[in-house]
Amino acid sequence: MFPDLSYIFHYFFGTPPDNALAIVKTFGLFLAIAILSAAWLLEKELRRKEREGLLKPVKEKITVGEGPQTGEILTNALVGFLVGFKLVFIMGAFDIFRMDPAGILFSGQGSLPGGFIGAILAGGYRYWYKSRHKLPKPEIRTVEVYPHQRIGDITILSAVSGVIGAKLFDALEHMDQLLSDPIGTLFSGGGLAIYGGLIVAFIVMYIYFKKKGIQPIHVMDAVAPALIIAYGIGRIGCQLSGDGDWGIVNAAAIPSWWFFPDWLWAFDYPHNVLNEGVRIEGCEWAYCSRLAEPVYPTPVYETLLAFVIGGILWILRKRMQIAGMLFFTYLVFNGAERFLIEKIRVNIRYDWGALQPTQAEIISTTLVIIGISGLIILWRRHRNN
């Protein structure tokens, strides 16, 4: 396993693990790649829909040459405070940060002097920049903004809301811990529920598109292939880091028809980022554990399924002429894939008497129902019209 970038470099170049490169965690790296990949694919689809006349530019009024505004200076100062608050602390506790970057970033630990210096620098720079470009009389101009030109805002807003949603839904799976220590649970480094991220990001982005005068239904179709492909990329990070998103114990013998590598049948995740399992004899690295019993490597299965689904949606994107059909097809595929994987995946189960569902099973079933219902409604509406 490659819990961080130093282990990847060790594997390919023989450099010692647990060096300064350890601050780049493998899961976080692939999460970033997944977000950027989704943004790239979405931009391509938005441009295509603009060429086809399905998405139109929106006229907006902008003010040019305006002087410093209190709100934006305070916003920049707040960002500068957060950066300085964390950065100065990290510089003084780099060894701790190297082992658990997310835990430090999401914690309340930091340097107040560093925060105040960062706030002064960031707020001061914004004041200087706006003053330098101030005109004697500000001008109001009307410009046309196409949906693809908002891809930067879309990426940042969806990524932030997605992480918040993923963290919140993960906390809901640990209700006892959440009730006893809400701050510690919400701001701890580990634990993300992908469906929580998708749900919260969808709600936030839907409101954003409506506010900007962009038809959400066409954007939903445009983003469908990007979402499932990005999901597959993210699962690569889960597999390579060994972040706990693996399956249940697979003690069954490898069947005679199995022609794939043995580790695709059952895997023990040596050097996993959780340090879970039994210690590897003779290992002196930071991550020296492997699972006592091999399990189903479910992240690999999900990656393969996600790429297959993504390929199908990519082929269908120009063939489905009814707006919204592609997105609801994505919901059906996504829900069915996750529901099936849950049967062999380690997860927390709710005690509902005879039923013992996981959070993902509940949500995935709901997605399939919504997807099928949406397809039927859109088809009937199209037929009647």
Q: What is the pLDDT of residues 236-266, one digit of tens each?
A: 999 999 998 999 999 999 999 999 999 999 9
In the chain, the amino acid numbered 267 is F
Chain segment 279-308, per-residue pLDDT in tens: 999 999 999 999 999 999 999 999 999 999
pLDDT tens per residue, range 85-94: 999 998 888 7
Per 3-state DSSP, the chain is made up of helix, strand and coil in percentages (nearest 5) of: 65, 10, 30
pLDDT > 90: percent of the chain: 72
Average pLDDT, the chain: 91
pLDDT above 80 for 193: no
pLDDT at 221: 96
At residue 4, the 3 state secondary structure works out as strand
Residues 47, 54: Cα–Cα separation, whole Å: 10
Cα-based distances in Å from 232 to 147, 205, 228: 25, 21, 6
Residue 167 pLDDT class (50, 70, 90 cuts): confident
Instruction: Say what the pLDDT of residue 184 is.
Output: 60
CA distance 280 to 32: 30
First to last CA, the chain: 55
What does pTM read for this prediction? 0.86
Reading phi first (left if > 0) and then psi (alpha if -120 to 50, else beta), residue 28 is in alpha
Q: Model confidence at 311, in pLDDT bands (50, 70, 90)?
A: very high
Percentage of the chain surpassing pLDDT 70?
95
Q: Would you state the structure tokens that stand for residue 3, as one six-digit string?
A: 């819990």
Within 28-85, strands assigned E span: 58-64
CA distance 41 to 189: 29
